[in-house]
Amino acid sequence: MGEEIFGEKLHEECGVFGVFRREDDLDVVAAAYYGLYALQHRGQESCGIAVNDDGIFYKRRELGLVSEVFTKSALEAMPRGNMCVAHCRYATTGTPVRANAQPFVIRHIKGPMALAHNGNLTNSAELRDEFELSGAIFHSTSDTEVIAYAITRERLHAGSIESAVEQAMPKLKGAYSLVLMSPRKLIAVRDPQGFRPLCIGKIGESDVIASESCAIVAAGGEFVRDVEPGEIVVFDEDGCRSIRTHCGQKGGLCVFEYVYIARPDSIVDGASVHRARRRAGALLALEHPVQADVVIGAPDSGLDAALGYAQQSGIPYGIGFLKNKYIGRTFIQPDQRLRENTVHIKLNPIADTVKGKRVVLVDDSIVRGTTSKQVVQMLRDAGATEVHFLSSAPEFLYPCYFGVDIDSRKDLIAANHTLEEMREILGVDSLGFLSVEGVKKIAEGCTCGLCTGCFTGEYPIPKPARTEKSKFEHKISENAND
C-alpha cells in the first residue's frame, strides 16, 4: 500500500538498452538517454551509457538518476558513435557502489566489449571460483563481470563473439537479459526461461534493444517484437540474425513484471501491462466482492487495479489521495527534525472522496505492511467509515532468486502471519489477496510461461546452491596466508 513511496517496495533490478545506427542522422547517445528515462522505474541507483565510435569505446556510468548522471555537459562530452549500450540499475547482487554500475566495458583478446545485464545468476559464486582458479581477477562483485568472463573465455576458441555467447549460455544459470556490444556488433541475449523481458524495435532504419517497449517508443522508435526466451539476436552491418539453439525450454517470465515492475504502457511478451493490472483488479472483484461506496487505488501502483475493480464491481471509482510529486531522494526523514509520523507530507487523503464512505483500497501488493497500516489510519482520520484492503498480488511467501530483492523472508508480513492477523495489524475491516490461480490469468495474450515462485516456492529451474552477496566484503579467513 503506497509501498513505493516509503522505500518498502520490492527492488526490481535493472533496465537495459542498445542502439545500432543505420542512418547517419541518428544520435545513438540521445536515443539511449531518452530510453533510459523511460526505464528509470526499473532502477534508480546508477546508470550509464557506453558508446562505440568506430571501435573506440567511451563510457560514462555513475551512481544517480539519469537526470543527475547525464547532465547537458556530460551528454555533450560523449562522442556520437554508431552503436551504444545503456543501463540503469538497482543493486541486487553486489553492494550499491559505483564499481558495480553498468555498462561494463572490458578489453579481451579480441578487442573491447561492453555489457549491460538485467537479472541474477544462481551460480555466480561457483563460476567466480572457477575463473579465479585459472587466473582471473575481479574488479567488482557484479554478476555481469562473471558473464563477461564466461563469454570471453569461450571467445578464445569460438569463431565469433556470438558463438562465444552461444557456447557460454549453458554455463550461466538464472536470469539474464543482456545487451552486448563488440567493435562491430550489437547483440541481445535472453536466458532460456525469459525471466526478465527484452524486446527489439526500430528507430527509422536503425535497430534498438530494450527491456520494455515503452523505452523504444520514448526513443522515437517502434516496437517490433520480443526477444524469445533463449534467443540470441545479432545486429551488424549485414543486418539482423537470430540464434535459437537455446530456445524452447520451459518459460518463466516473472509475473510480478505485470503486477508491479513494468510500466503500464509497455507490452511485455504480447500482453499489455495496463490491461493486466485492470484484469487483476477485475479478478479481485470476482474473488473478493465487498459492499462499499467507493474504490480507490494506492498511488501510483494501485490505480490501474482499482479502476479494474471499480468497473467489474460497479462501485464508483474515486481519487483517494494526493501524492506529493516533489518528494525526492533528498527528502529529509521526519526523525531528524520533526516528531510525528509525516506520512501526510508524501500522501494526503482527499477527504471529499472518502468522508462518510465505505472504502475499498486497492494496492499491487503487501510486503512488510508498516506503511499500509499508516495509510489505512489516514483514511479513517479523513472520515472513511470502513476500509477494505485488497492486494492485486497474492501473498509473498518465498524468496526470488531471479532479480527481485525479496530473498529475506523475515520481513514479509504474509510469511509470518495468518490472514486474520494481518487484517488486525493493518486495522482494516476486510483484507483480500488475489489468488495464485487469479494472478496466472492476468496477462491475457502472454506468449511465455510465467514464474510465480515468490508466491508458490515452485521455480522453473533449481534454486541456487550457495548465495553470496559480496565476496569483496568477507573477513580474513583462518587459513589465508596473504
Which of 274, 288, 357, 388 forms a contact with a second copy (CB under 8 A)?
274
Nearer to a second copy, 204 or 457 (CB): 204
Question: 337 exposed, middle or buried (CB, 10 Å; 0-12, 13-18, 19+)?
Answer: exposed
Name which of residues 369 to 408 contact a second copy (CB under 8 A). none
**Closest approach of a second copy to the CB of residue 23, in Å:** 10
Burial degree of 377 (CB within 10 A; 0-12, 13-18, 19+): middle
C-alpha cell at 77: 562530452
Nearer to a second copy, 435 or 467 (CB): 467
**Ranges within 145-204 binding a second copy (CB under 8 A):** 148-149, 152-153, 155-156, 159-161, 182-185
The verdict on whether 14 is a catalytic residue reads: yes
Q: Is the dihedral of CA 45, 144, 251, 267 positive or negative?
A: positive
Minimum Å gap between C-beta 250 and a second copy is 28
Whole-angstrom Cα distance, residue 264 to residue 257?
10
Binding range to a second copy, per CB under 8 A, among 248-256, 324-332, 357-365, 446-454 = 324-332
E-strand ranges in 320-378 read: 321-323, 347-349, 358-363
Strand-pair category, 430-433 with 386-391: parallel
- Site for a second copy (CB under 8 A): which residue of 342, 457, 465, 469? 342
Site for a second copy in 422-451 (CB under 8 A): none
Least separation in angstroms between residue 183's CB and a second copy is: 5
Three-state DSSP at 358 gives: strand
**Greatest CA separation found in the chain?**
73
The Cα 127–Cα 171 span in angstroms is 8
Q: Which is nearer to a second copy, 75 or 436 (CB)?
A: 75
Report the residue from 247, 319, 397, 425 that binds a second copy according to the rule CB under 8 A: 319
Q: Residues 14, 84, 88, 199: which is the catalytic one?
A: 14
Q: How far is the CB of 317 from a second copy (least distance, A)?
A: 6
Residue number with CB closer to a second copy (246 or 263): 263
Q: How far apart are CA 77 and CA 124, in angstroms?
A: 35
| Cβ nearer to a second copy, comparing 57 with 396 | 57
- Shortest distance (Å) from residue 232 CB to a second copy: 14
Q: Given the complex with a second copy, which of 292 and 400 has the nearer CB atom?
A: 292
Q: Given the complex with a second copy, which of 135 and 418 has the nearer CB atom? A: 135
Binding mask 52-71 for a second copy (x = CB under 8 A): --xxxx-------xxxx-xx
Return d(Cα 108, Cα 105) in angstroms, integer.
10
Contact set for a second copy, span 114-143 (CB under 8 A): 129, 131-139
**Is the CB of residue 188 less than 8 Å from the CB of residue 198?**
yes
Cα 227–Cα 117–Cα 108 angle in degrees, nearest 5: 110
Give the contacts of 135 (CB within 8 A, at least 6 positions apart): none
Count other Cβ atoms within 10 Å, centred on residue 132.
Answer: 13
Q: Is 270 an interacting residue with respect to a second copy (CB under 8 A)?
A: no
Question: Per CB under 8 A, which of residues 12..41 are in contact with a second copy?
Answer: 25, 27, 29-31, 33-34, 37-38, 40-41
Q: Which residues are catalytic?
A: 14
